[in-house]
Amino acid sequence: MKKIIAAGIPACALLSLPAFAADMPLKAPPLPTVYNWTSCYVGANTGGAWADKSITTTIVNGIPTTLSAGSLTATGWAYGGQVGCDYQLNNVWVLGLRGTLDGSNMTGRNTWPTIVTDSNQYKIGSFETAVGTVGYLLTPTVEVYALGGGAGAQETLNWSNSVFGIFGSGSQTRAAYDVGAGMSWMFAPHWNLSLEYDYMGFGTQGISLTGTGGTGGANVRQSISTFLLSLDYRFR
C-alpha cells in the first residue's frame, strides 16, 4: 500500500501543474512605441557648401568700367545649428517652420580674363535661412520633405594684383531665396537624423570696395548650394 501511495504522489503533482499554471498572473506584452512628429526641436548640422559666382566690374580705382572679372566657385564646409517646430496633420502629412545659422569656410579665387595680373579672392563666412517645410511620411518614422523661404549670406571680396597685392576690399550681407528637399529618420522618440540639399539664389547684386587705388565696385551673380547632415533633439 505504501508503494502505491508513493507512486501516486508524482502523478498527482503532474496533474495539478496545468491548474497551477492557469492561476499564475499573465505578463502584459510591452506597448508599441508611438511616433509623432508634432514637437519643437533644436539641433546641429554640418556638411559641404559651395558658391558659384560670376563677376563684372563697375568701378576700378575710381574709374567706371564694365570689365569681366570672370567666374569662380568658392568651396568649403558649413557647420551650425537649427531650431524649429513641426505639426503632424494626420498619418502622412507634416508641416513645419525652421531657422538655421551656419558658419562657413567657403573660399575661392580666380584670375581676371581681361587683366591677368588681377584676381578675385572670395570668402563666405556665414549664412542663415528661415523656411517652411511640407513633409510626407513614408513610414511613421521616415519623412521626405520640401522646403522654401529666405536666406542671407555674409561675404568678403578682395581684389589682388600679382605685383602690388590687395588693392580693393569689400564686405556685404546678401539676401536670397532658399529652396530644397530632404529626408528625416526619427530613430528614437526624441531624436531624428536628416539629410538635406538647399539651393540659395541671390541673383545679381552690387558690392562696393575700397583700397589703395581708390573706390571699386562690381556686380556679382551668385548662388550657394549646401548638402548638410543634421541631428535634432525633440521636446515632448
Domain ranges of the chain: 2-235
Position 11 scores a pLDDT of 46
Which residue blocks in the chain are alpha helix, DSSP H? 2-23
Position 33 scores a pLDDT of 72
CA distance 174 to 179: 16
Run of H or E residues at 144? strand 142-161
Closest-CA residue to 58 (of 166, 220, 203, 219) = 219
CA atoms within 13 A on the CB side of 183: 6
Reply yes or no on domain 2-235 having CATH 3.40.1050.10.
no
Position 9 scores a pLDDT of 45
Query: Residue 189 phi/psi, 5° resolution?
Result: -55, -30
CA distance 221 to 180: 20
Total Cβ atoms within 10 A of residue 66: 9
Whether 22 shows a pLDDT value over 70: the answer reads no
High-pLDDT (> 90) share of the chain, %:
83
Total Cβ atoms within 10 A of residue 99: 13
Q: Are 209 and 169 in contact (CB under 8 A)?
A: yes
Per-residue pLDDT reduced to its tens digit, 158-175: 999 999 999 999 999 999
DSSP secondary structure, 203-227, as one string: EEEEEEEEETTEEEEEEEEEEEEEE
Position 213 scores a pLDDT of 80
Per-residue pLDDT reduced to its tens digit, 109-126: 999 999 999 999 999 999
Position 20 scores a pLDDT of 45
